[in-house]
Amino acid sequence: MITRRVSGLLIGILVAVAGCAAPARSEKMVAEVATPAPATLRERVAVTDVTSSKNSEVESDKLRQAVEMSLRNAGYLNTNPAAATLLLAVALISLERGDIGVATTSRLRYSLTSGASGAPLFNEVVVDECSKYAFFASERLQISTECSVRNNIEAFLQKMLLLQVDQ
């Protein structure tokens, strides 16, 4: 009888510790902006397409919200998408985890084009990583995923600072 209780308790603990990851939360993926957009890029960007893989913990709408909030906070986002002169498409290519799920590496493609000519201005895959630990596996996966995507968006914003765009 005691053996069954102990076995049941151990199984319950293992399920809790090794649980599935919850979907990433958009507010936790918003980049911390250190440097605002340069004058040549201020309020010129609209987000067009945002995609993620079907089995990803990062849903497309949550990723879109995080990218848009990050661009808004940095001063890049045009509140009227029809008036934006630069169009941004974002695609989550992959999320990769280390053996125990502490480190997560995100690969996102950012494609920025001219709204007038359609000419590509930036088209790169940005790779970034984050290691966060939490006791419960599901929480650990969620936190490290959110952190990796946030770091990835921050890295993209740093690259945007170097972009040369005509006014």
| CATH of residue 89 | 3.40.50.10610
What's the rounded mean pLDDT across residues 13-36?
A: 71
* Model pLDDT, residue 135: 63
The fraction of the chain above a pLDDT of 90, given in percent, is 61
Q: Using CA of residue 112, residue 61, residue 158, residue 45, what is the dihedral sign?
A: positive
Given a cut of 60, is residue 29 above it in pLDDT? yes
Please indicate, yes or no, if residue 166 is contained in any of the structural domains. no
CA gyration radius for the chain?
19
Given a cut of 70, is residue 16 above it in pLDDT? no
What's the token pair of residue 75?
């001063």
What's the rounded mean pLDDT across residues 141-167?
A: 90
Mean residue pLDDT across the chain: 85
Please indicate, yes or no, if residue 57 is contained in any of the structural domains. yes
Domain span at residue 32?
A: 2-161
Total structural domains in the chain? 1
pLDDT in tens, 95-150: 998 766 678 999 999 999 999 999 999 999 999 999 876 566 677 788 889 999 99
* Model pLDDT, residue 5: 58
- Judge whether 74 and 37 are in contact, CB under 8 Å: yes
Please indicate, yes or no, if residue 167 is contained in any of the structural domains. no
Given a cut of 70, is residue 25 above it in pLDDT? yes
Please indicate whether residue 142 or residue 88 has the higher confidence score (pLDDT): 88
Please indicate, yes or no, if residue 150 is contained in any of the structural domains. yes
* Model pLDDT, residue 19: 47
Partner residues linked to 89 by β-bridges: 111
